[in-house]
Every structure is written in structure tokens, then in C-alpha cells.
Structure 1
Amino acid sequence: MLRSLLKSSLIPLLALSGNLFVPSSWASPLPRQSASWPYGPFEVSGAEMKDSRGETIVYAGTNWPGHGEVMIPDGLQYQSIETIVSKIKSLGMNAIRLTYAIQMIDQFYANGNKDTTVQQSFNTALGSTNGPKVYAKFLANNPSFNASTTRLDVFDAVAAECAKQQIHVHLDNHISRASWCCSTTDGNSWFGDNDYNVQNWARGLKFMADRGKSWTALTSMSLRNELRSPDNNPTLKSQSYNWRDWYTYSKQGSSAIHEANPDILIFLSGLDFDTWITPMFQGTAMTPGTTKYSAADFPGYANKLVLEVHNYNNDATSCSSLESSLYNNGFQAMHKEDAKTVTVFPVVLTEFGFAQTDAEWRRVYSTCIAGYLAKQKAGWFIWVVSGSYYIRSGTQDYEEAWGLLSHDWSTWRSQSYIDGGLKPLVKNTVKN
């Protein structure tokens, strides 16, 4: 109100030390704010993710893989995009972690800036006999697609349906060469590994961040899934697998995303399959160097950084031990009252999971994690929604025993877990 009065009445501006004084809100445009869901842009405030209204956003979601050899989100030969998103929404979830492979972007550029069609991708990944069969099922369940539909078109459609149903999209670079992930000898383990070209990786991040500007539902992106020791490459392992190089490449990847899409959050994952990321919040040296985390190393977007960790300690017998591991390796970053916490960050458990049986979810691992996440008021993505994969580790139509959905993605694999475990976890998360 004061600003419009000043402008309309042409009140003279004050002069300070001989210079014209202009209020900062006049000197630069206000940040872009969305008047509708998801109320972006997002940013970080202490241990919380915030939308443009200042409201706290906590992800409660599931992983939806799209990084396999077909390079489109799984399950679409069995169900429509709308049906799958609706099933996720029916749980009360508010987010998906949508994975992709850098190879998809590499092929886009190698093909003269033109993406491969889904039809071609099915044939390449599944063969000339099974590829057309699965593709026909894909079209039958998703009739808006046709022979000209590309892989990126499918990602666009998933994002559009998520926006329609108000499901946040967290876009995850899962791997470089499209395949099942992960091992220390798969060539995708570390920056500079056999199939992990750093320049192509940064280019891919920038490409997807730029494309994601048209996705209303996109609110965050990751740098890389489960960084790990490149055991197949002894020289790279001895010279580069360390926090010093991790920090260098994390700055490069973060910059690529933010330059292309400044509105979204950026997730940083740690070492040893993303099981710990302590130097970022404890202020210890990025060994073997002496550099420590500094917000100045992420100029203008340190308030976009979120830490992510994974945990698959499925054989846990002690909840207190599991909680200590989660806290010490990542969630301590949310606790400014801890003397060891130098910098506070939000932390999201982007992967955890277990076999979907009526007995497994009642064991220490799943019940302990559910209680812990609720206490921490932390976000999470369970692995995995997929009842099956187009192809995994050479096996086509691979059964996923950990999948929330049945093989044909039509029903819940363990209704008792859905009702007794997962829905309560969602409720306890999104109410915080």
C-alpha cells in the first residue's frame, strides 16, 4: 500500500549521502510466486522445505522407476498413467520420486536433438518379438499416445497427471546407462566411471531441469542416486572416490540445475550408496582436502539444498540402533540443538523398503522407520510402487516382490500393510 501511494503521489525520493535511495523492493522484481498449487517456488528454511506462502512441505511418497532400458516410467503396459497416479493419490501421498537415465538425454543429442519414440525404445530394449507386444499393450492402456510419442512425451504426461492430482514430482537422476541399479561394478558408480561421463551428466541435469520448467508439479531434483565405490576401476577409486571430489561435482551439478530452473529444490546424496552425508552438516573437512561446506559455494541457491539418505537395514533387530544410525548418518542435520550440527538442512529418506508381505511390515525395520520419520517430521519415498518392470537385469516382465502394487499394477500386494502401516505413515507425515 505504501509503495503505491509513494508512486501515485510522486513523493520525492530521499537522498542518502548524495545518492538516490531506492527501496530494495523497487530496485529488483519480486520473486515469482504461483497463486495456485504447488505454490512455488520452493526454498529451504532451516530443517524445513517451504512453499512461496511460507507453508512447510513434507514429502510422503513412493518411487516410480523410469530409468530401465525402455527409459519410460514402468507399468504402462498394464495401467494408464491416470490410474497409477490415482492409486498413489488414494493412499494420501503427495509426491513421487520419478527416476530417469542420462542415456535418454545422450541419445536425444546424438539423434540431432530428437528423442527416440517409445515404439523404438520398446523394440530396442525387449526385442523384435516382445517389444511390439508390450508396446501394443502400452497403447491400449494409454490411448492418447501414438506412433510418434517419444519417451520424453511420456515423462511430460506423467508430470501433467501429477499436477492434475496435486502430486509433487521429485525428478531423480538414477543412473547414466539405463539399467537396473546399483552395484559397485556396473560402470555407473562414480563420477568418471566407465559409463558415468561427467560432462554428459551435467548436461543431462540441465536438460531435464529446463524441460521441467513446463511441469507444474516439479518441485525438486536430485543430483545422483546412490554414489558408490567404483570397484571395477581401481585407479578412479583410489584417486577420486572421496568427499573432496564429491563436493566438487556436487557444486557442478547443483549449478547446472539451478541455472536452468531456479525455482526448484536440489537434493544432494552421500557416499556408500547414499547411506551417510555427515560432512555437509557437521562442518568437517571434505577429505582428503581441507575444504568445508560453505553456503558461498552455492551462490544464490544455498537455500535450495536438501540432503537425502537411503536405508535398507532390513535385518534390524534393535529399533534404537536403527534410529541411531539414521540420526548419525543424516537426520542429525535437522537438529540445530545438537552441538555437532554446524549447518541445518532438511533431510528426506528417498529410499527404504521391504518385501510386501503381511508379515514383513510388522518387523522392527519397517515399524521403527515409520515411527522415526513421524518423530522427525521428515519426508520420505518408499521403494517402490512398481508391481513389475518392463525389464530388470535381463529378465523381461520382472516381478517386484517389494512393489506396493501387484504384478499387473491393479491391486495392492499387501492390503494389510496398506491399511495398517502405510496409510498411517502417510497420515503422520503430511499432518506435520
Structure 2
Amino acid sequence: MRLLSALALFIAPRIAGAISTGPLSTEGRWIVDSNGENVTFAGVNWPGAADAMLPEGLQYQSIEYIVSKIKSLGMNVVRLTFATEMIDDIYEKGSDTSIEDSLVNALGNDNGTAVYREIVKHNSQLGGNTTRLQVFDAVADECYRQGIYVHLDNHISKGMWCCDTNDGNSWFGDKYFDVENWYRGWRYMAEHVKSLPAVKSVGMRNELRSPDSNSDLVDKTYNWQYWYKHMVENANQIHDVNPDVLIYFSGLNYDTILTPIPTGADLGNGTKFLKDDFSYGDKIVLELHNYDRTATSCDDLKSGLWNGGFNALDTTNSSIVNTFPVQMTEFGFPQDNTTYTDVYASCLREWLPEIQAGWMVWVIAGSYYIREGVQDDEELWGLLDHTWSDWRSPAAINNGLKRMVEATLG
């Protein structure tokens, strides 16, 4: 089988033991630091893109505590999500929104004020003048202090729970997905993160998908050619503003496919994604998601992932013209005492370390400020319990996730 023979030839550089003080780059299928040592990511998603547009959980625990729990797993990266709306507000009002005002807007006056008071009780460095973006900065600074990278992800345009094909955030030009606002938002954030040494990489857009509430977009623009047009334009400007950061390209169909990219196939009208066309080809990483929890065959799951884009890791196949690092920036499952043993979870736990690909599991959150209208909503997929105090399922952590981290990072 081609997959197995290719994997047998993967010889990784020595894995760096600490967070890099300088920028990261890529060499073929590897991410490396300035010393040429391999930087493999193994981490978790920390949501901050929903209605309140704040990193979740701070009404229950301090930033320092939450980061320390992540660090205790041996993880070295947090995928921190944000909504374009947060940056739109800064442009439209001339200043960022305070965390208290944002919580009141999302939860109502009484509940928003109560949650705000709990946040500042647990996080004394935050207060009445603290803005939303300053909270993101505080998370990034604490991650850096504890030796954890931050991967900044543009999760959605309008601050809300993601994702659905009818939510208005699906595709370029959808109801809430203003492309020019997305561009300016990334120009702003690319400049902003220069002051945050933990942020070495950015994900341009989470889970692009069919805009089913807009048939005109579905018929005319939901295709690889328009993907290329907007993703490359955005990557160009991010690199112009901040040439240090790695830039992650996500795919179509909820970021489950990047099929034409490794082979440099025609995306339409002769358009091709070719690494050699980019002056910053050594800053590009591919990302994929997978939630195929109905999988009954690990071999089938691996084959689908490989052919869907992970084959960009293959340095031995002449049909792969674009060799890139590929990472699974989202996968997940309920955190209980049995699900981690099913085909889906156990297959990814073994395969991603085997191919030496980075990953970020969904999700650290034990609960949300608000999700789809439900305040203080429980997250059964959360690594932490409802109050973000301890692991929801010690069995899933100790027998599953910790072993995956150890296998990935050695």
C-alpha cells in the first residue's frame, strides 16, 4: 500500500523541547524553528468566537489555571478562536468593547453583569476597562509564560456558535461573511500579534462550507477557483503585514478536503495552487478537520484522510507537487469513559503520531457563556468539566489523550 511505504520513509528532525523565541518556518513536510529543529504541535482548541467574543470559561477559573491544565497534559499549542465581528467593532466604534459590555450584550444585563463579576474575581488582572482583545492578549501572554504556542484562528464572521451551512458565515460573500471586512480584520490581527511572542501561526478561516442559504453563491462561487482567489489574496496581505507567522490554508466541505492542492490540480480556468508560485512558500501549512465518528474501519478512515489532503506529507510520490506540513486542527468526541476506545478516536490517536502530523483536539471548554441561546451551556465534548475545574473523564485523558501527546512529542 502506497500510504504505508511513504510513511516508512518519514525521518523527523529532532523535536524542539521548548517554545521558539523566533519565528517558525517550514522545510518540506516539517515545521521547524530557527535552529532547524522540528516543531510538532499537539494541543487543544480554546473557543473565543461565540456571542460574547471572549475566551470561554473565565467566570469559573483563571487564565493561569486553565493554561496550567493544558500544560499538565504535555501539550504545546492552543488553537484560540476569534470572530471577525470583534475587529469590525473596533473599526466602527474607534475602540474595542469592554468585556462587561460584551457580556451584557450577549447575556442580558443581570446575567452579563454577574458573569463579568465572576471573571474579574478569578482574574484579578482584568477589570472594568479591560477590552475583549486584551483578554485574548492575556491568554496569549500566559501561554507564552508556560511554554505553549498560540495558533490564532478566524473561526467565524459574526460572533455565534459555529458551524452550519445556513448560518450566514459559510462562504465568501455570505450574509455575514463580508470579504473586505475579513481582509481588514486579518490586516489588523496580523499587525497586532507582532507583540505576542506565543503567536507563531494563524488559521485564515475555519470550515469553509456550502452557503446553502444563498443559492446564487452555491451555483456561482462555491468552488476551488474562488477559494484560491480569496485565500491567496488574504495570505498575501497577512504575509506583507507580518512575514513571520505561519499561514494555514483550510479546505472545503467544513475543511474536510484539500484534494486538489497536494497534486497541483487545475482548480478552474487553468488556476493551480503551486508552492513555487509563493515567495513565502516556507510559511504555508495545510489544515484539515475530521469528525467521522461513524467510522467502522481505521484503514478506510486513514485512506480518506490521506487522499483528502494528508498526502501533501508524502515526499516520495512524484504526483505530489506541493509538499507541505498538514495538521488536523479539529477532531473530537464526547469525553466519557468509553468513547475514546471506539474506532474513530483510537484510530486518530494512533495514526496522527505515526505520520508525525500535528493536531489540536476539540475542545478544552467544559461549558460556554452562551451557545445557541442557552446560557452556561454544558459541553460534553469538553476535556474539562462544567466548572473548568478538572477533567470530565480521567479515563479518556489518562488512557487516551495523554498517550497521544506522548506519542506525538516523544
Aligned to 2:76: 94
SS of aligned partner of 1:282:
coil
Aligned to 1:380: 359
Runs of 4+ in 1 over 2 A off after TM superposition: 294-298
SS of aligned partner of 1:56:
coil
In 2, the alpha carbon distance for the partners of 1:268 and 1:244 equals: 14
Aligned to 1:25: none
Aligned to 2:202: 221
Aligned to 1:303: 282
Give the one of 125, 135, 151 matched to 1:170: 151
Aligned to 2:348: 369
Shift of 1:39: 3.2
In 1, the alpha carbon distance for the partners of 2:367 and 2:177 equals: 27
1:67-113, CA deviations, whole angstroms, 9 ceiling, x for partnerless residues? 0111110000000000000000000000000000000000001002x
Give the one of 80, 87, 101 matched to 1:120: 101
Q: Which moved more, 1:401-410 or 1:38-47?
A: 38-47
SS of aligned partner of 1:189:
coil
Alignment of 1:187-206 (within 5 A): 187-206=168-187
Q: Is the 8 A contact 2:368 2:375 kept in 1?
A: yes
Shift of 1:339: 3.6
Q: Is the 8 A contact 1:72 1:154 kept in 2?
A: yes
Aligned to 1:27: none
In 2, the alpha carbon distance for the partners of 1:296 and 1:341 equals: 13
In 2, the alpha carbon distance for the partners of 1:401 and 1:340 equals: 42
Q: Is there any run of 5+ residues in structure 2 with no aligned partner, and where?
A: 1-17
Determine if the alignment matches structure 1 residue 160 to structure 2 residue 141.
Answer: yes
Determine if the alignment matches structure 1 residue 208 to structure 2 residue 189.
Answer: yes
Q: Which moved more, 1:254-263 or 1:124-133?
A: 254-263
Q: Is the 8 A contact 1:48 1:345 kept in 2?
A: yes
Shift of 1:63: 0.1
TM-score w.r.t. the length of structure 1 is 0.90
In 1, the alpha carbon distance for the partners of 2:238 and 2:378 equals: 34
Aligned to 1:3: none
Q: Is the 8 A contact 2:50 2:161 kept in 1?
A: yes
Determine if the alignment matches structure 1 residue 64 to structure 2 residue 41.
Answer: no
In terms of Rg, which structure is larger?
A: 1
Give the one of 389, 403, 406 matched to 1:427: 406
Shift of 1:122: 0.5
* Aligned residues between the structures: 393
Identity value in percent = 50
Give the one of 413, 417, 423 matched to 2:396: 417
Determine if the alignment matches structure 1 residue 52 to structure 2 residue 34.
Answer: yes
Q: Is there any run of 5+ residues in structure 1 with no aligned partner, and where?
A: 1-35
Shift of 1:296: 5.0
Determine if the alignment matches structure 1 residue 395 to structure 2 residue 408.
Answer: no
In 2, the alpha carbon distance for the partners of 1:206 and 1:379 equals: 26
Q: Is the 8 A contact 1:62 1:97 kept in 2?
A: yes
Aligned to 1:250: 231
Q: Is the 8 A contact 2:171 2:211 kept in 1?
A: yes
Tell me the amino acid that sits aligned with residue 22 of structure 2: G
Give the one of 285, 288, 302 matched to 1:323: 302
Shift of 1:278: 1.6
Aligned to 2:273: 293
Q: Structure 1 62/246 Cα, relative in aligned 2: closer, same or farther at 3 Å?
A: same
Shift of 1:252: 1.1
Q: Is the 8 A contact 1:274 1:310 kept in 2?
A: yes
Shift of 1:279: 1.5
In 2, the alpha carbon distance for the partners of 1:283 and 1:121 equals: 44
1:244-295, CA deviations, whole angstroms, 9 ceiling, x for partnerless residues? 00001111110121122111100000000000102111111113x2211123
Q: Which moved more, 1:202-211 or 1:332-341?
A: 332-341
In 2, the alpha carbon distance for the partners of 1:98 and 1:329 equals: 25
SS of aligned partner of 1:263:
coil
Q: Which moved more, 1:79-88 or 1:275-284?
A: 275-284
In 1, the alpha carbon distance for the partners of 2:135 and 2:184 equals: 21
SS of aligned partner of 1:280:
coil
Q: Structure 1 115/278 Cα, relative in aligned 2: closer, same or farther at 3 Å?
A: same
TM-score w.r.t. the length of structure 2 is 0.94
Q: Is the 8 A contact 1:206 1:259 kept in 2?
A: no
